[in-house]
């Protein structure tokens, strides 16, 4: 058995998450990074998408969850983790990091992030 880590890096979305009313109206940029540990043995040998984790589907799941507004990054990140694990129950380990770019903190800040692992 060969374990591999598949990473979807710096997926960018525009969405309306936040506790402040302005965030829910104006929106903000969000960056999502996902790392998934799976058995890649069959895919390595067959070279077939049918034997691999379909990361296009992972992207689509993430995009669907991003569309649903949340007040907290913790809530949004958990929804993404839960939806991916529900679709791909054979995933050994999953890490999702959601970053809100330029959050309204009253000062200069690149991002605030929440990372969950399961």
Enumerate the active-site residues: 100
Spatial CA neighbour of 96 closest among 32, 5, 15:
32
Three-state DSSP class for 20?
Answer: coil
Count CB-CB contacts under 10 A for residue 117: 10
Locus of tokens 């799976």: 38
């Amino acid at each position: 058995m060969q374990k591999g880590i598949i990473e979807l890096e710096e997926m960018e979305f525009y969405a309306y998450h936040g506790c402040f009313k302005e965030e829910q109206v104006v929106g903000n940029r969000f960056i999502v990074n996902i790392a998934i540990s799976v058995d890649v043995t069959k895919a390595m040998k067959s070279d077939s998408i049918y034997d691999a984790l379909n990361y296009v589907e992972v992207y689509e799941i993430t995009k669907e969850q991003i569309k649903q507004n949340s007040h907290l990054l913790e809530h949004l990140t958990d929804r993404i983790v839960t939806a991916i694990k529900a679709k791909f129950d054979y995933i050994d380990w999953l890490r999702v990091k959601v970053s809100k770019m330029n959050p309204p903190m009253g000062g200069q800040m690149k991002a605030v992030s929440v990372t969950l692992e399961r």
